[in-house]
Amino acid sequence: MAAAAAAADAGRQIVLLSPPDAAGTLGPAVFLSMVEAAQKAYPAVKVEAMLDCGSSPGFAAAALRHGHTAIRYDGPAIDAIQDIAGQIGASVQRERPPSIDLGDVEADGDDLGEACRDWLHDG
Protein backbone atom coordinates (compact mmCIF):
# COMPACT_ATOMS: atom_id res chain seq x y z
CA MET A 1 0.00 0.00 0.00
CA ALA A 2 2.96 2.32 0.52
CA ALA A 3 3.54 2.55 -3.24
CA ALA A 4 -0.10 3.39 -3.96
CA ALA A 5 -0.14 5.98 -1.17
CA ALA A 6 3.02 7.61 -2.54
CA ALA A 7 1.55 7.61 -6.04
CA ALA A 8 -1.62 9.24 -4.73
CA ASP A 9 0.43 11.95 -3.01
CA ALA A 10 2.46 12.53 -6.18
CA GLY A 11 -0.50 12.36 -8.55
CA ARG A 12 1.20 9.58 -10.49
CA GLN A 13 0.24 6.19 -11.83
CA ILE A 14 2.21 3.12 -10.76
CA VAL A 15 3.06 -0.37 -11.90
CA LEU A 16 3.25 -2.88 -9.09
CA LEU A 17 5.87 -5.46 -10.08
CA SER A 18 5.85 -8.71 -8.17
CA PRO A 19 9.02 -10.22 -6.76
CA PRO A 20 10.92 -12.51 -9.14
CA ASP A 21 9.10 -15.79 -9.81
CA ALA A 22 6.13 -14.71 -7.66
CA ALA A 23 3.68 -16.55 -9.89
CA GLY A 24 5.02 -19.77 -8.41
CA THR A 25 5.35 -18.63 -4.81
CA LEU A 26 2.57 -16.11 -4.26
CA GLY A 27 0.31 -17.25 -7.06
CA PRO A 28 -1.61 -15.24 -9.64
CA ALA A 29 -4.82 -14.93 -7.60
CA VAL A 30 -3.09 -13.64 -4.46
CA PHE A 31 -1.05 -11.06 -6.34
CA LEU A 32 -4.10 -9.90 -8.27
CA SER A 33 -6.05 -9.49 -5.01
CA MET A 34 -3.21 -7.42 -3.55
CA VAL A 35 -3.26 -5.14 -6.59
CA GLU A 36 -7.05 -4.84 -6.43
CA ALA A 37 -6.82 -3.91 -2.74
CA ALA A 38 -4.35 -1.13 -3.57
CA GLN A 39 -6.63 0.14 -6.34
CA LYS A 40 -9.63 0.08 -4.01
CA ALA A 41 -7.76 1.93 -1.27
CA TYR A 42 -6.51 4.58 -3.73
CA PRO A 43 -9.13 4.85 -6.48
CA ALA A 44 -7.64 8.06 -7.89
CA VAL A 45 -4.38 6.26 -8.71
CA LYS A 46 -4.06 4.25 -11.88
CA VAL A 47 -2.56 1.00 -10.62
CA GLU A 48 -1.22 -1.52 -13.09
CA ALA A 49 0.44 -4.80 -12.22
CA MET A 50 3.05 -7.10 -13.66
CA LEU A 51 3.36 -10.62 -12.31
CA ASP A 52 6.78 -12.23 -12.69
CA CYS A 53 6.29 -15.78 -13.97
CA GLY A 54 9.98 -16.64 -14.32
CA SER A 55 10.56 -19.28 -16.96
CA SER A 56 7.49 -21.40 -16.21
CA PRO A 57 4.98 -21.53 -19.08
CA GLY A 58 2.42 -23.09 -16.71
CA PHE A 59 2.64 -20.16 -14.30
CA ALA A 60 2.51 -17.69 -17.20
CA ALA A 61 -0.62 -19.33 -18.62
CA ALA A 62 -2.22 -19.44 -15.16
CA ALA A 63 -1.52 -15.74 -14.66
CA LEU A 64 -3.20 -14.91 -17.95
CA ARG A 65 -6.18 -17.13 -17.09
CA HIS A 66 -6.55 -15.30 -13.77
CA GLY A 67 -6.84 -11.97 -15.56
CA HIS A 68 -3.34 -10.52 -15.40
CA THR A 69 -2.85 -8.11 -18.27
CA ALA A 70 0.94 -7.84 -17.96
CA ILE A 71 3.41 -10.58 -17.09
CA ARG A 72 7.15 -11.07 -17.15
CA TYR A 73 8.13 -14.40 -18.67
CA ASP A 74 11.40 -15.62 -20.15
CA GLY A 75 10.78 -19.31 -20.72
CA PRO A 76 11.09 -21.60 -23.70
CA ALA A 77 7.46 -21.31 -24.82
CA ILE A 78 7.64 -17.55 -25.35
CA ASP A 79 5.86 -17.65 -28.71
CA ALA A 80 2.91 -19.62 -27.33
CA ILE A 81 2.63 -17.42 -24.23
CA GLN A 82 2.80 -14.26 -26.35
CA ASP A 83 0.10 -15.68 -28.61
CA ILE A 84 -2.20 -16.41 -25.65
CA ALA A 85 -1.51 -12.97 -24.19
CA GLY A 86 -2.23 -11.30 -27.52
CA GLN A 87 -5.60 -13.04 -27.77
CA ILE A 88 -6.73 -11.44 -24.51
CA GLY A 89 -5.02 -8.07 -24.89
CA ALA A 90 -2.27 -8.79 -22.35
CA SER A 91 1.43 -8.08 -22.68
CA VAL A 92 4.53 -10.18 -22.02
CA GLN A 93 7.93 -8.74 -21.17
CA ARG A 94 11.04 -10.87 -21.15
CA GLU A 95 13.07 -8.54 -18.92
CA ARG A 96 12.18 -7.10 -15.53
CA PRO A 97 11.70 -3.35 -15.77
CA PRO A 98 13.57 -1.08 -13.36
CA SER A 99 11.91 -1.18 -9.97
CA ILE A 100 12.30 -0.60 -6.28
CA ASP A 101 12.42 -3.70 -4.09
CA LEU A 102 10.27 -2.87 -1.09
CA GLY A 103 11.34 -6.10 0.59
CA ASP A 104 14.91 -4.81 0.66
CA VAL A 105 13.73 -1.39 1.86
CA GLU A 106 11.80 -2.98 4.71
CA ALA A 107 14.66 -5.36 5.58
CA ASP A 108 16.99 -2.36 5.83
CA GLY A 109 14.57 -0.71 8.26
CA ASP A 110 13.96 2.22 5.94
CA ASP A 111 10.63 4.00 5.65
CA LEU A 112 8.57 2.43 2.87
CA GLY A 113 6.59 5.58 2.12
CA GLU A 114 9.71 7.71 1.87
CA ALA A 115 11.43 5.16 -0.37
CA CYS A 116 8.38 5.05 -2.67
CA ARG A 117 8.16 8.84 -2.84
CA ASP A 118 11.88 9.02 -3.67
CA TRP A 119 11.49 6.35 -6.36
CA LEU A 120 8.53 8.14 -7.95
CA HIS A 121 10.45 11.40 -7.90
CA ASP A 122 13.77 10.00 -9.17
CA GLY A 123 12.82 6.76 -10.95
Dump pLDDT digits (tens) for 7-62: 999 999 999 999 999 999 999 999 999 999 999 999 999 999 999 999 999 999 99
- What pLDDT is attached to residue 111? 93
Assigned domain for 108 exists: no
* Sign of CA pseudo-dihedral 99, 75, 22, 61: positive
How high is the pLDDT of residue 62?
Answer: 96
What pTM was estimated for this model as a whole?
0.91
Q: How many other β-carbons are positioned within 10 Å of the β-carbon of residue 31? A: 23
Does a structural domain hold residue 37? Answer: yes
Using 50, 70 and 90 to split pLDDT, how confident is the model at 121? confident
Q: Is 64 part of any domain?
A: yes
Distance CA 89, CA 69 (A): 7
Q: Which domain holds residue 59?
A: 2-100
Report if residue 57 sits inside a domain.
yes
73: helix, strand or coil: coil
In a domain, 110, yes or no: no
Query: pLDDT tens-digit profile of 91-111?
Result: 999 999 999 999 899 999 999
Counted domains in the chain: 1
Residue 123 lies in a domain: no
